[in-house]
């Protein structure tokens, strides 16, 4: 078979090499193009002669300008592109091309846990919320004992997790940036997969006092029925602290254990979308399939969250027209501007994104990466924008502003209320979260085959023509409903791969 | 017995209440003072009439100015003090009162592990250094299997720890602040308690590539004998990644297991000093005793590290005269200034330090807290100052600049090369580190009695007159040598309380 290329958009003057071994020099590709040199898999080849200064176009968008003339059939290496300026936030079109709603998809349900606040969980997990890192090993120790000694008696409860983090003290808790980590800790505890049974483990003297998170009922033993303070004078030593946590946990387990899965409409799904370890295929296979699944889920009434400001910033001009109202578009611009400022103060800019792996995988710069990343959002209208750590309350497609760091983004999406996570990857990462199932989608078949116990879905079959974006998107839609219902477990769940939470703290530590 | 007060310095016009229940109104204290109102334990009582605007003096230093007239015998509450400005960094005296060296203490040794780089370990630990958070659960999974399956065959090795952290990708790795976390990760791996047997677990596509940490030997299987890259194409799935880590770990364990404890001079000790959950007793009991032990250890040739910039900033005028040279003093001022700027950029200042617990414990503000904190440094000349994450190379008293956050400070002191940790606490915290033994010293007997399985040494006996600062300092000196030798284990070691590492990243995330 002739070497294969993928062109995404009719206006593109570059295409991506599909073949795993790359394409040798002087090879004739499936569409008749002859290569002038070796071009590795997932890297770009010039489809026409490109003059110095001319735009290099992928996804129908200039991803850079040729730093010198590039002949048709050449490898368009990273160093041949100069990066274009980011879209000007002052002149973006606001809600000028709002997509019409697609026909609703009726009747899709999953078996979930109904919460008293109207949300639904895909898992039934007891969480120990912590106010401060001081209590982390104690909470972890208690969680391990709960898992071993109590959980077997409460088979209806899936797991117990200690929500450890590095915030809570030794931080400037009244600095402008502090609101973000504080509301993140609060909203993590409110995640639908935690069933509303809050249990806070506090030290006692920390800056982030429990009542900054929740109203605390002080009437019961150990400082309130939903709070264990380690410094409480009633605890004699470590063993009694742990015993107090176990006692409080058991009350929560009794409530959680009585819950049963019930049919919930697909509109109760809150699916967080993310990519990590991306390559040039991510924007061609995995992310478009996720985008199609997102469109289906929006039609079924679900909330679909996309995030990662630095991977959206260069596509801002594609997002603001899609916003349902000018107000939503202005909210989006506000988050972009906040992050521009945040990076500038830290002596960086959007070009700090893209990793060695991204570049090895053929992504020349953050513009190309962003174009491939936003494809995950599908084609629906954007109905809301939330700031980092805020809870998402709207149904439909939502932009929850977060850094692109996989763990900070995952943590903030959990705080936003995510009860299912979809993670696309090209280079591969053994990613997992404790609080929500993570479906990992590979952009390349080679990765899916090499990591059968880590990858849940192979989107590489799109590049090889074995399936289509639409068919794989539908497959993912079904998989999300199956995993949400507990009928299927993800690779990360089977291996219990839980990346630690990572809070976004734009304020200083002290 | 009459209610007791502690006055630290002859010039002080306030003293601290010793009695656990506080002192009631109209009580006559041991020195004849009559209280005008109830004063709680560890809070301040006025020893003389103090006019509005007059200095409130503790540790012989103004810790604030009276916001209104305060009568002798009154409770000097936090709100009666206005905070003085921080010492002006431009006019500090440089090396003007360098303490003469005290007579050396000869012949003190501990049984440690001799490392090839000349350092000595107090423990013999295998560490899995990680480049990026993506690999954290995999490294943790592997460490657990090593602990269970391999360690029993290598009884000379104390433990295996995965050095997880939240840096490595999704960060602005070329921003000005990035040098700090990168050198911290590198220097953590070089800690004397890790025996020089480096093993790096990398994902592959991350920004913090392994060769930014160390020279990597690529000649052997799995990308080098001391490196396992999870994305290496030779690993088929998760199980083979873990197997590769176990195989590489076993080679390291064989080397570590052959080591035996040998007599090492006390000068091989690198003791990190820290306080957390402080109260007004911390500066009267625990910290002065630690200061005395620090003096003894400096005389024995050891390296004593104190840190916590915001808890030293207000005592800067007491430190710069003690610096051995003007150059060292200027280094100290440089670190103070850097942190002033860092806080200012984040919209905070030094007053962001002091916690609700500190204030409940009688510490009115950061000035009073700092005065009690720097007492840990004893009375020796300061011989060196290091920036956050740098390795300490000098013997004697060293200031390693760090934030005061217990976990960031502990992590940075480990990176500085600490092989023993002393942690003083008034309110109490179940603190522990995986990489070095932590001796916890309570400032109050009540805490030591309540937490017998968490507190290693009760310095409250100084306040009650049962012992002296000097005697307790000597007790601590002996305890440090005993724990360093492995003859004694700390409370945190027995319970395996390991607070996660927390990197200091002054740069932005992306």
In this prediction, residue A224 carries a pLDDT of: 53
3-state SS string for B449-504: HHCCCCCCEECHHHHCCCCCHHHHHHHHHHHHHHHHCCCCCCHHHHHCCCCCCCCC
CB-based contact (8 Å) between B440 and chain A?
A: no
| pTM for this entry | 0.96
Sequence-distant (6+) residues with CB within 8 A of B384 are B328, B331, B392, B393, B394, B396, B398, B399
| Model pLDDT, residue A221 | 35
SS3 (DSSP) at B143? helix
d(CA B283, CA B443) in angstroms, rounded, equals 8
Q: For A115-153, give one letter per residue: b (16+ CB within 10 A) or e.
A: beeebbbbbbbbbbbbbbbbbbbbbbbbbebbeeebbee
Contacts across the A-B interface (CB distance below 8 Å): 262
Cβ–Cβ under 8 Å, residues B33 and B76: no
Pairwise CA distance, residues A474 & A468, whole Å: 10
Contact A432 B276 (CB under 8 A): no
The sheet that has A14-17: what strands, in order across it? A5-6, A14-17, A44-46
Shortest alpha-carbon distance between residue B435 and chain A (Å): 14
Asked if residue A223 has pLDDT above 60, the reply is no
State the pLDDT at residue A220. Answer: 39
- The predicted-structure confidence for A54-106, as pLDDT tens digits, reads as follows 999 999 999 999 999 999 999 999 999 999 999 999 999 999 999 999 999 99
Taking only the tens place, the pLDDT of each residue in B84-137 is 999 999 999 999 999 999 999 999 999 999 999 999 999 999 999 999 999 999
Contacts A356 to B, Cβ<8 Å: 205-207, 209
Q: Do A172 and B430 touch (CB under 8 A)?
A: no
Please choose, from the candidates A131, A181, A140, the residue with its C-alpha nearest in 3D space to the C-alpha of residue A162. A140
Q: Which B residues 404-423 touch A at CB under 8 Å? A: 404-409
Crossing angle for the helix pair A237-257 and A136-145, to the nearest 10 degrees: 60
Cα separation, B397 vs B412, in Å, equals 16
**Span B234-256, average pLDDT:** 97
- Whether the CB of B305 is below 8 Å from some CB of chain A: the reply is no
A contacts of B348 (beta carbons < 8 Å)? 172, 174-175, 507-508, 510
- Each residue of A110-160: pLDDT tens digit? 999 999 999 999 999 999 999 999 999 999 999 999 999 999 999 999 999
Residue A113 burial (CB count, 10 A): 27
Any B CB within 8 A of A351 CB: no
Q: Quick one: CA dihedral A420, A423, A424, A430, positive or negative?
A: negative
Residue A65 is given by DSSP the state: E
DSSP A47: S
Taking CA atoms, A61 is separated from A353, B47, B402, in Å, by: 19, 76, 46
Looking at residue B223, its pLDDT comes to 41
SS3 content of chain A, % helix, strand, coil (to 5): 35, 20, 45
State whether B508 and A135 contact (CB < 8 Å): no
Kindly provide the ipTM of the predicted complex, given to two decimals.
0.95
Q: Is B177 on the interface with A (CB under 8 A)?
A: yes
Question: What is the nearest CA distance from B425 to chain A, expressed in angstroms?
Answer: 11
pLDDT in tens, B303-339: 999 999 999 999 999 999 999 999 999 999 999 999 9
CB A268 within 8 A of CB A297: no
* The pLDDT of residue B30: 79
Between vectors from CA A127 to CA A124 and to CA A131, what angle results, nearest 5°? 160
B509 at the A interface (CB within 8 A)? Answer: yes
Best residue of B430, B451, B505 to probe chain A, by most A CBs closer than 10 Å: B430
Q: Which residues 6+ apart lie within 8 Å of B354 measured at CB? A: B363, B365, B366, B369
B345/A508 touch (CB, cutoff 8 Å), yes or no? yes
Residue carrying the six token digits 């200061």: B291
In terms of Cβ atoms closer than 10 Å to its own Cβ (0-12, 13-18, 19+), residue A258 is exposed
In the numeric block, the tokens 């977060």 are attached to A402
pLDDT of B218 over the 70 cut:
no
Instruction: Indicate the pLDDT class of residue B222, thresholds 50, 70 and 90.
Output: very low
A231 to B428: CB separation less than 8 angstroms, yes or no: yes
Structure tokens at B149: 């399956």
Cβ–Cβ gap A206/B510 under 8 Å: no
Q: pLDDT digits over B106-118, tens only?
A: 999 999 999 999 9
Backbone angles phi, psi at B440, to 5 degrees: -100, 125
| Mean of pLDDT values over B424-439 | 97
């Amino acid at each position: 078979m002739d070497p294969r290329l993928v062109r995404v958009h009719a206006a593109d003057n570059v295409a991506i090499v599909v073949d795993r071994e790359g394409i040798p020099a002087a090879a004739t590709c499936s569409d008749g193009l002859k290569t002038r040199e070796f071009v590795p898999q997932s890297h770009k080849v010039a489809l026409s002669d490109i003059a110095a200064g001319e735009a290099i176009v992928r996804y129908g968008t200039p991803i850079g300008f040729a730093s010198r003339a590039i002949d048709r059939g050449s490898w368009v290496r990273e160093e041949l592109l100069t990066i274009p300026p980011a879209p000007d936030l002052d002149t973006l079109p606001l809600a000028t091309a709002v997509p019409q709603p697609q026909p609703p998809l009726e009747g899709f349900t999953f078996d979930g846990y109904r919460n008293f606040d109207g949300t639904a969980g895909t898992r039934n997990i007891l969480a120990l919320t912590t106010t401060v890192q001081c209590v982390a090993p104690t909470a972890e120790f208690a969680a391990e004992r709960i898992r071993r000694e109590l959980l077997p008696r409460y088979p209806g409860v899936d797991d117990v997790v200690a929500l450890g983090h590095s915030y809570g003290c030794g931080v400037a808790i009244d600095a402008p940036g502090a609101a973000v980590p504080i509301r993140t800790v609060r909203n993590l505890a409110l995640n639908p997969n935690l069933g509303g049974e809050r249990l806070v483990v506090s030290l006692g003297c920390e800056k982030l006092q429990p009542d900054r998170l929740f109203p605390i009922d002080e009437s019961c033993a150990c400082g309130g029925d939903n709070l264990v303070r380690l410094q409480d004078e009633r605890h004699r030593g470590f063993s009694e602290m742990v015993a107090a946590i176990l006692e409080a946990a058991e009350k929560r387990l009794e409530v959680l254990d009585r819950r049963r899965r019930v049919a919930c409409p697909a509109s109760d799904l809150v699916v967080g979308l993310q990519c990590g370890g991306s390559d040039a295929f991510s924007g061609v296979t995995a992310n478009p399939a996720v985008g199609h699944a997102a469109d289906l889920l929006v039609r079924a009434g679900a909330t679909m969250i996309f995030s990662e400001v630095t991977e959206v910033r260069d596509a801002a001009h594609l997002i603001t027209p899609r916003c349902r109202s000018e107000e939503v578009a202005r909210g989006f611009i506000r988050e972009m501007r906040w992050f521009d400022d945040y990076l500038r103060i830290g002596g960086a800019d959007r070009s700090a994104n893209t990793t060695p792996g991204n570049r090895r995988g053929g992504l020349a710069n953050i513009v190309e990466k962003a174009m491939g990343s936003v494809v995950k959002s599908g084609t629906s209208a954007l109905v809301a924008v939330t700031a980092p750590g805020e809870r998402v309350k709207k149904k439909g497609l939502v932009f929850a502003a977060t850094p692109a760091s996989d763990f900070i983004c995952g943590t903030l999406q959990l705080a936003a209320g995510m009860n299912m996570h979809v993670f696309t990857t090209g280079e591969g990462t053994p990613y997992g979260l404790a609080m929500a199932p993570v479906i990992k989608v590979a952009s390349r078949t080679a990765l899916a085959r090499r990591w059968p116990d880590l990858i849940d879905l192979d989107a590489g079959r799109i590049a090889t023509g074995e399936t289509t974006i639409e068919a794989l998107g539908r497959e993912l839609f079904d998989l999300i409903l199956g995993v949400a219902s507990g009928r299927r477990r993800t690779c990360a769940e089977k291996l219990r791969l839980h990346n630690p939470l990572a809070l976004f703290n734009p304020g200083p530590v002290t």
